[in-house]
Homo-oligomer: A and B are copies of this chain.
Amino acid sequence: MNFSVNKNEFFNNLQIADHAISSNSPQPILRGILISAKEGQLTLTGSDADISIQKIMKADEKNQLNISEEGSILIDAQYLMQIVKKLDSEIISIEIIDGSLTKFSGSSVVFKINGMNTDDYPTIDFSKPMNSIKMDAAVLSDIIDQTAFATSLKETRPVLTGVNFNLNNDQLNCTATDSYRLAKKTIEFKSDVSFNITIPSKSLNEVRGTILMNAKEIEIAQNDKKAQFWSEDMVLQTRLLDGGYPETERLIPSEFSYTMKISREDLIHAIDRTTFIKNDNMTINRLQCSSDEVILTNKSQEIGESHENLNAVFTGEPLDISFSGTYVMDAAKALRGSEIIVKFTGEMKPFILSCDEDTTILQLVLPVRTYN
């Protein structure tokens, strides 16, 4: 292998592949980026076994890629990124000189780095499944922003660590829940395709950090083992979470006895003010509502208490309800628009946050029981 390339362009492309790599992977081979130079293009592959990214660099005027000898090498991603970033010329050249010993040349600087044997690298099947849809990148970005935060961090029910994508009858439902809260995005989506898959939220965050940065349209292909996110010059592939996703529809109440309207920003600030007052490391807010006033409090034996009159409009009988402030704040942040509508069915019943300006998204939070 022997090629020369524009340093900055190469670095930017390596950064994409590097996203899939965890530097502390127990398998040293997975700490490497696979560079393959073939038929006038570079293919850069990174993988942590759960997520794999393949980035293509076709020779063009900007990257000035020039392959004089085809081949491939696997180099530790950390060293590779350092070297490419720091080489002292605009065009750099990379050449295998002996076995896997690889020479990186700038103008007066040369690095000779021990590569790894490409034969040991796992075979990653990037073949595209038949079943695929195309989606606007901005829509996918919204789905991730508005749901992924609500997935579970605990591995006790692995399927809850992902977002469920359910496409059926021209409707795409994206649902995330950690069983204390739920985020659901519903989009009209005309398609002959249907699927019901759960994608790890970690993978979705990588999708946001890589392919969504540069593409306008994303193709999502899937089978029962994997999902792929394609743009013109890259693919991110992720394993799916096994196990049926719980039926969440029945959790969402449809009749409400109490309604509160409040500025989204005011609600976020009011809760944020009280977050330093913790009980068992949780921020628990109490909301006392009547048609006269809405009061938000937070109390801890050790620290003290907060008390705030919210500028909110409440309709219904007086209501006294407590919840995780962090959950309600997360939900409010994920909604769009300036005003939030909170609908309650009772003091120990789940409640819903939504907004009129974007009816595709619904946030549900379970109250907590307090003893003060």
Q: A276 contacts which chain B residues (CB < 8 A)?
A: 78-79, 82-83
- The one of B86, B114, B269 in contact with A303, judged by C-beta atoms closer than 8 angstroms, is B114
Identify which of A19-27, A189-197, A305-313 touches chain B: A305-313
Tell me, in angstroms, the Cα distance from A109 to B271 when the chains sit together.
11
Complex interface residues of chain A between 106 and 154 (CB less than 8 A to chain B) = 108-114
Tell me, in angstroms, the Cα distance from A180 to B98 when the chains sit together.
38
List 20 contacting pairs A-B, 8 Å CB cutoff, sorted by A. A76-B303, A78-B276, A79-B304, A82-B276, A87-B273, A108-B311, A109-B270, A109-B273, A109-B307, A110-B307, A110-B308, A111-B306, A111-B307, A112-B304, A112-B305, A112-B306, A113-B303, A113-B304, A114-B303, A114-B304
- Answer yes or no: A265 CB below 8 A from chain B CBs: no
Contact B79 A109 (CB under 8 A): no
Tell me, in angstroms, the Cα distance from A114 to B276 when the chains sit together.
13
Tell me, in angstroms, the Cα distance from A276 to B108 when the chains sit together.
18
- Output the nearest chain B residue to A113 by Cβ-Cβ distance: B304
Tell me, in angstroms, the Cα distance from A45 to B305 when the chains sit together.
24
Q: Mark A255-282, 1 if CB is under 8 A from B, else 0.
A: 0000000000000011011011000000
Q: A113 contacts which chain B residues (CB < 8 A)?
A: 303-304
In the complex with contacts A272-B86, A276-B82, A111-B304 CB distance below 8 A: yes
- Answer yes or no: A302 CB below 8 A from chain B CBs: yes
Tell me, in angstroms, the Cα distance from A101 to B303 when the chains sit together.
10
Complex interface residues of chain A between 290 and 311 (CB less than 8 A to chain B) = 302-311
Tell me, in angstroms, the Cα distance from A109 to B82 when the chains sit together.
50
Q: A269 contacts which chain B residues (CB < 8 A)?
A: 86, 88
In the complex with contacts A272-B86, A273-B86, A273-B88, A306-B109 CB distance below 8 A: yes
Q: A302 contacts which chain B residues (CB < 8 A)?
A: 114
Tell me, in angstroms, the Cα distance from A31 to B219 when the chains sit together.
54
- Output the nearest chain B residue to A105 by Cβ-Cβ distance: B307
Contact B306 A108 (CB under 8 A): no
Q: A311 contacts which chain B residues (CB < 8 A)?
A: 108
Most buried by B among A87, A101, A276: A276
The smallest C-beta distance from A203 to any residue of chain B, in angstroms, reads 29
Most buried by B among A112, A275, A304: A304
In the complex with contacts A88-B273, A273-B88, A79-B303 CB distance below 8 A: yes
The smallest C-beta distance from A188 to any residue of chain B, in angstroms, reads 41
